[in-house]
Structure 1
């Protein structure tokens, strides 16, 4: 492997070079060093700093707006899909979609940003694919919060080259029923907690999720049972059952409103919130966001999932997802990327940020 990346190469070649560097979550030092060396050597106009295995760079051109571009350097564990393999116009390999194609586009823009139309900040961060407390953005927000501020944030996660606005929130709850143990030969002497879960499951089956439209983007909410547990032994009436439910809610609902809604749905049951993350409103009315949409030349869509755009939205910024690759291929052994999407995403951001 070369000591540096050629930031002025075709972004497709840059993608290949990044994919061929192992960077499983928690093991990003090699790729972070490579990105830092390359930026310092080929983009002297940028102010550059390091936070753990995150690399941050920004212009100071005195422009009226600042756009933050963010992309994580880590991948999920390699699954017989390393190094990269090119098959015609398709690049195969771990991280092609999630999200080294997006990182390559960011690096190519960074190299050309000396005369950008907006001031730009580039955030290449670590540990996105694992628990939130280890996510590089968590550390950066705590130690270098000013580096995350701007008028628009673009998270270059895979979006099939479409502007995906905002993101849904997510919440997990445990619905618990209790009963009384007894021998199954004398079952009438007990109360079966698993049987008591039937009503909660019927409510889920009958549930009709909302589909609100926000800034012209339609969000599809969801409420799904994802796990059920209970039982003591093959001859014992169980005295407890636990149903785990995941709720994906549109960003016009706060975390508090989502919790109230779930407690209404499961009224009469013992409900415990175990995990949550708020969503992000699209913010497409912001001038910088409108410019990006115009440069992309398509119709923005709702992000049906949670991404780090929510972190930027919580800082008061409009935030979108925009990057090459099909997100449904992320984390799969067959992860692959049509290389034309890298070229197209680079062209859109070049029009928006540089021309």
Structure 2
């Protein structure tokens, strides 16, 4: 069976180093769990320039050659290499025209190979290297999969010097905005009780599926909760997302499990969020037997840190809109070790994980120029 990380085509040079770099990343799809080949390619790309490369699993930490005692503040340029599985519409990386404008089509161009390409180009740019910051490039695996397989955690443990970073820039798609902070996330499995029976004799049982119907209906009218921090407003929401039974189709289910997802603003601790989450789940329940509620996944939020000196300097240099990150990203992992972090990429967020993923070529160079303006400003 062909590896999903094998190049699907050769990239034809456009004469633009940045576009061609993104193209080279795109022809290596690297679905989560299969990032070895792209890690090999990026490591060779960096080593061929004489840069120092440290490998952790299929993740890389790269820095320019020179004195590690360089007194300049460190800026980490951080991007994940993995993508969700390709579709027939984006497996072939290519340039196309849409409405008379050139676009790049390819799995992961939005999330996040365009962002990673912009970070890599800034990392090798001589003006950026000679600017007021010492740059470190981090290309890590496993972001699109389960949290425990995200190799950024291993990288941060293996390279303790990253805790001294003055600012981390994560190349998540932000439509050219600076997006600060991120939401926290909780997932709970809610189990509804019942009594199993044959579907030909349902009166002998108690259908857990229909038992849950009234509770599920109440989620339709749950209002968004807006939370404003440092002038940025997040929209909190709790949403049932999946349902499970383990019985055959001719059995009245004796249990019914619903996954509920809570996305919460970075104004509360994980413990406070869990308490509110469980309270809301139980408030919708009117049955005689208590629900079984198990929190099965937790992701810490990240505050915007808008008043941090480095964050403020970047915002001033970029001169673009500032918005909250209405999702979870790895800025939270940096915040957990005391490093301010933010999200930035010229890629369109609404194309992430879409079939036929694409982005306008015209947006890429301005995104690079914005990043360079920050990395070279004094």
TM-score normalised by structure 1 residue count: 0.88
Structure 1: runs of 5 or more not aligned? none
Q: Is the 8 A contact 2:163 2:338 kept in 1?
A: no
Counterpart of 1:350 in structure 2 is 372
Distance in 2 of aligned mates of 1:31 and 1:182: 52
Counterpart of 1:57 in structure 2 is 62
Deviation by residue 1:218-267 (Cα, 9 ceiling, x = unmatched): 10111111123448566765432222211111111222111101221123
Structure 2: runs of 5 or more not aligned? 1-6, 8-12, 283-289
Q: Is the 8 A contact 1:63 1:117 kept in 2?
A: no
**Secondary structure in 2 matching 1:194:** helix
Counterpart of 1:79 in structure 2 is 87
- The verdict on how the C-alpha distance between 1:70 and 1:231 changes in structure 2, with shifts beyond 3 A counting, is closer
Indicate the larger mover: 138-147 or 119-128: 138-147
Matched, 1:92 2:105: yes
Indicate the larger mover: 13-22 or 181-190: 181-190
**Secondary structure in 2 matching 1:107:** helix
Deviation by residue 1:2-47 (Cα, 9 ceiling, x = unmatched): xxxx9x95312221222123423333333222222222232x4x44
Q: Is the 8 A contact 1:281 1:318 kept in 2?
A: no
Counterpart of 2:239 in structure 1 is 224
Counterpart of 1:271 in structure 2 is 293
- The verdict on how the C-alpha distance between 1:9 and 1:53 changes in structure 2, with shifts beyond 3 A counting, is farther
Indicate the larger mover: 55-64 or 91-100: 55-64
Indicate the larger mover: 289-298 or 189-198: 189-198
Matched, 1:207 2:222: yes
Matched, 1:129 2:128: no
Matched, 1:101 2:109: no
Question: C-alpha displacement at 1:82, in angstroms?
Answer: 3.4
- The verdict on how the C-alpha distance between 1:189 and 1:69 changes in structure 2, with shifts beyond 3 A counting, is same
Question: C-alpha displacement at 1:187, in angstroms?
Answer: 5.6
Question: C-alpha displacement at 1:282, in angstroms?
Answer: 0.9
Q: Is the 8 A contact 1:223 1:248 kept in 2?
A: yes
- The verdict on how the C-alpha distance between 1:205 and 1:96 changes in structure 2, with shifts beyond 3 A counting, is closer
Counterpart of 1:305 in structure 2 is 327
Question: C-alpha displacement at 1:79, in angstroms?
Answer: 2.1
- The verdict on how the C-alpha distance between 1:178 and 1:121 changes in structure 2, with shifts beyond 3 A counting, is same
Indicate the larger mover: 102-111 or 135-144: 135-144
Q: Is the 8 A contact 1:25 1:126 kept in 2?
A: yes
Count of matched residue pairs: 348
TM-score normalised by structure 2 residue count: 0.83
1:14 pairs, out of 12, 21, 45, with 21
Q: Is the 8 A contact 1:203 1:265 kept in 2?
A: no
Counterpart of 1:36 in structure 2 is 43
Distance in 2 of aligned mates of 1:40 and 1:234: 57
Q: Is the 8 A contact 1:61 1:119 kept in 2?
A: no
Distance in 2 of aligned mates of 1:92 and 1:223: 33
Question: C-alpha displacement at 1:92, in angstroms?
Answer: 0.9
Q: Is the 8 A contact 1:284 1:318 kept in 2?
A: no
Question: C-alpha displacement at 1:310, in angstroms?
Answer: 1.3
**Secondary structure in 1 matching 2:297:** strand
- The verdict on how the C-alpha distance between 1:24 and 1:300 changes in structure 2, with shifts beyond 3 A counting, is same
Question: C-alpha displacement at 1:98, in angstroms?
Answer: 1.7
Indicate the larger mover: 142-151 or 315-324: 142-151
Distance in 2 of aligned mates of 1:184 and 1:18: 53
Counterpart of 2:3 in structure 1 is none
